[in-house]
């Protein structure tokens, strides 16, 4: 048997300010640090030996993982960082307040941008300081891999090949893995794992700092899945 633990980073500074964040490299808010430490305690209670740990290029996910590993008394020098696990790029919405955009564009339109499968916001100008080409964390990523905007479908199409090659391959060798990432990159993995269609994937909510433990039998057949913090668990749509 192997185990995959998916953790959306703890509350970030821009989660707190209710802004569209995407690829902007903001850090954890104080509450997010506490969520990460609690996630570490919940994982520790499972007494699972962790073999590999993955995260995105974004410090809110990286620091969530570091706090978890510190709680587990695991050195963090073997963390694998992958831009493919980054949050979805929100294009021209990046840095804008979600409530203000609801007033300006209408709640239905904003919900469409946030939760639709294949609709992306307008591209973000490359001159904008929030564009990834202007952010230090992404200086070593090839320009062709840096988006101006993304739909959930676009996010899925960059996350899935990485997941299959680097993570699923290790699960098939009965390894236990933690992935600290983002709402939409985790949503993309869940679409694949739970065979969710394009309608149901838009309904899936991923809570911050709450580890989702997925146990496998016979390589990639899911045996069980549960959020470890039951009081903050979202409904998991599984078919």
Active-site residue numbers?
9, 87
Residue 48 makes CB contacts below 8 A (sequence gap 6+) with: 3, 5, 176
Which tokens belong to 72? 């587990």
Q: Enumerate residues 6+ apart whose C-beta is below 8 A from 38.
A: 209, 229
Dihedral pair phi/psi, residue 182, rounded to 5°: -135, 165
Measure Cα distances from 6 to 61, 186, 190, 206 in Å.
Answer: 11, 7, 9, 10
Q: CA 88, CA 72: separation in Å to the nearest integer?
A: 29
Q: HSE of 14 in the Cβ direction (CA atoms, 13 Å)?
A: 18
For 193, phi then psi, to 5°, come to: -65, -40
In whole angstroms, give the CA distance from residue 214 to residue 91: 32
Provide the residue count of the chain. 239
Look-up: residue for tokens 């809110």? Answer: 60
* Element (DSSP H or E) covering residue 178: strand 177-181
The β-bridge relationship of strands 2-8 and 212-217 is antiparallel
């Amino acid at each position: 048997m192997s185990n995959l633990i998916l953790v959306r980073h703890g509350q970030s500074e821009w989660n707190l300010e209710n802004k569209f964040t995407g690829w902007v490299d903001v850090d954890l808010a104080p509450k997010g640090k506490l969520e990460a430490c609690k996630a570490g305690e919940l994982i520790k209670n499972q007494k699972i030996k962790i073999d590999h740990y993955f995260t995105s290029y974004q410090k809110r996910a990286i620091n969530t993982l570091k706090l978890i590993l510190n709680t587990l008394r695991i050195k963090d020098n073997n963390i694998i960082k992958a831009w493919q696990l980054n949050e979805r790029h929100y294009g021209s919405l990046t840095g804008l307040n979600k409530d203000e955009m609801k007033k300006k564009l209408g709640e239905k339109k904003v919900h469409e941008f946030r939760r639709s499968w294949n609709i992306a916001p307008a591209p973000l100008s490359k001159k904008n300081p929030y564009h990834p080409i202007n952010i230090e964390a992404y200086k070593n990523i090839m320009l062709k891999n840096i988006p101006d905007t993304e739909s959930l479908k676009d996010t899925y199409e960059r996350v899935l090949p990485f997941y299959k090659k680097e993570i699923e391959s290790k699960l098939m060798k009965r390894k236990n893995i933690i992935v600290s990432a983002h709402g939409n990159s985790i949503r993309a993995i869940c679409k694949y794992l739970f065979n969710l269609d394009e309608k149901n994937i838009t309904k899936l909510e991923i809570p911050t700092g709450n580890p989702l433990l997925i146990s496998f039998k016979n390589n990639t057949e899911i045996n069980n899945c549960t959020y470890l913090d039951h009081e903050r668990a979202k409904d998991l749509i599984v078919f």
